Chains A and B, each alone.
Chain A
Amino acid sequence: MVSTSLELFGVTLDYPVYSVSAKSLRSSVMNLAVGGRLMKDQSDTAVVRALTNIAFKIEEGDRLAIIGHNGAGKTTLLKVIAGIYEPTEGVVDVKGRLTSMISVGLGMDPEASGIQNIYNMALMRLVRKSVIKERIPSIVEFAELGAFINLPVRTYSAGMVARLNFGVATELDADILVLDEWMGAGDAAFHDKAAKRMERFVASAKMIVVGTHNLGLVRDVCNKVCVLDGGRMSYFGPVEEYFERLAAA
């Protein structure tokens, strides 16, 4: 069996931002007509370097927290790890099955019932139908949805959607779980439950990468920390050392 690992080699990501006018054909044609010199000024396309030369490696059993200020590149890095963005330079080497939960609720069909959404999410993660069927009771139990599971997802509260998403993501045999700000929705009871479930998930030699602002979560659940600052990695190492540094500073 191939062991699970995640390694980033010099990952840099340039992120083109298109303004409304840059998306229209008229402005592109106008730019062509005007000629090369003015093109840059008029194209309204800004390139943001969101990540600069990120490199680290984590292995089985690791729980990595990615922390940093708003806009430091947390979500972008998670999306690169999840394969949603491909790096401009560098390589992301993923060994194992990766499941991502980047944004709660996105990718769910609000008109379909909870059960149908479980099937759809599982299908997109290439899980067989028979396997999903077995797991449904435990997902429903974890998500505490009860009879709501048969109602359309649009009737759910934000917390219910988060629990359902988290339940599916942790139940479907992923080796690497990528989570972003999943604590945002849901109450204290859910946090405890989710933390316990993550421990169980990690106990079976799997890996978690979580983007968060919550230092309590980092201390309780994670063993490694990656600190981002303006798209650069300013610290990567064990949790204990990070908190010692914080205390010393």
Chain B
Amino acid sequence: MRNRSPLAAAVGDISEGLRLSPVWWRLGLELTYNRYRRTLLGPFWIAGAMLTTGLSLSFVFGSLLGGSWRESMPHILGGVLCWSLVSGIVAEGANTYMGAAGMMQVQRLPLSFYSLLSANRILINFLHQIVAFWVVMALFKLLTVPHWTLVLAIPLVALTGFFLSIPVAMISTRYRDIGFMIGLFFGALFLLTPVFWSRAQLQPDKRWIADYNPFSHLLEIVRQPFLGQSAPLLNWYASFVTLGVAIVLAVTCLALFRKRVIFWL
């Protein structure tokens, strides 16, 4: 028997993680359920942050940026809803390996398993938030039938987040400063991405900030279907390119550093 090449081992790590899907799916549900334990309103608290941020932003910015509240509210609330999926997997993923240190010390599981478990928890939270989003939209009589591209957009965004979270989690484990940096980075990105504003509201010479931001394209491909339409093709192309880059980054980092992560804990 010979040692596998680092590249083969990296790809093997990811495919092994994907094959463990029943495990991280169930564990993700279990961990989410654990967070409800001994709470009265349980799932509501998971959706609560999205609702308070989204409604406050749409109240203030809806009027600041002009236009009717009924027009801007779905855009802003949908933006906040989708942002939690687009940024959450990567932002939360930074602490994945440090958080799983206990499991990693006693059990051999592929590194991608822990990232999938973490991504899955964000996805489960997102599914909670979708329900809350639709309830609020229904209350304001703004409910629209989602566009079918949603079923394509959610997996695409979740996968991109998963692949990006692997290199991010690795550097954050090796250099403990990065974890804090990631928090600041996504805090700024929330403001710099058209989550609660739109590209058209920017002065033309500042629009590059939305155009060259991969997260704004990822956000749009999930948000637009919630508002009843498909996102422009450009957003889709940009999202697929981002996924490709994320895969290359993840495989490269796994090939180079996979063996060492356990010693960085």
Contact = CB atoms under 8 A, between A and B. Distances in A.
Contact of B262 (A23, A84, A124): A84
Contact of B175 (A24, A79, A98): A24
Interface residues of B, number: 29
Contacts of B263: 15-18
Contacts of A24: 175-177
A98 B108 CA distance: 10
A84 B106 contact: yes
Given A112-B30, A123-B27, A126-B20, A25 B105 contact: no
B2 A91 contact: yes
A184 B263 CA distance: 25
Interface residues of A, number: 33
A84 B108 contact: yes
A124 B27 CA distance: 9
Contacts of A126: 20, 23
A100 interface: yes
Q: Which of A84, A103, A116, A124 has the most CB of B within 10 A?
A: A124
B178 to A, nearest CB: 7
Nearest to B9: A86
A223 interface: no
B103 A107 contact: yes
A23 B174 contact: yes
Contacts of B3: 91
A65 interface: no
Contacts of A183: none
A177 to B, nearest CB: 14
B177 A26 contact: yes
Contacts of A17: 263
A52 to B, nearest CB: 17
A82 B105 CA distance: 10
Contacts of A98: 108
A93 interface: yes
Given A82-B108, A107-B106, A123 B264 contact: no
Interface in B164-204: 174-178
A116 B174 CA distance: 32
B8 interface: no
B207 interface: no
A68 B177 CA distance: 39
Contact of B104 (A16, A84, A100, A101): A84
A243 interface: no
B174 A100 contact: no
Contact of B34 (A15, A16, A79, A111): A111
Interface in B210-265: 259-260, 262-264
Given A18-B264, A28-B175, A93-B1, A83 B108 contact: yes
A17 B264 CA distance: 8
B109 A124 contact: yes
B67 interface: no
Nearest to B260: A16
Nearest to A128: B22
Contacts of A124: 23, 27, 103, 107, 109
A120 B30 contact: yes
Contacts of B70: none
5 contacts: A9-B1, A23-B175, A84-B104, A91-B2, A124-B103
Given A24-B175, A106-B105, 18 more contacts: A16-B260, A16-B263, A23-B264, A24-B177, A25-B176, A25-B178, A79-B105, A82-B107, A84-B104, A85-B262, A91-B1, A93-B1, A106-B103, A107-B107, A109-B34, A116-B30, A120-B27, A123-B23
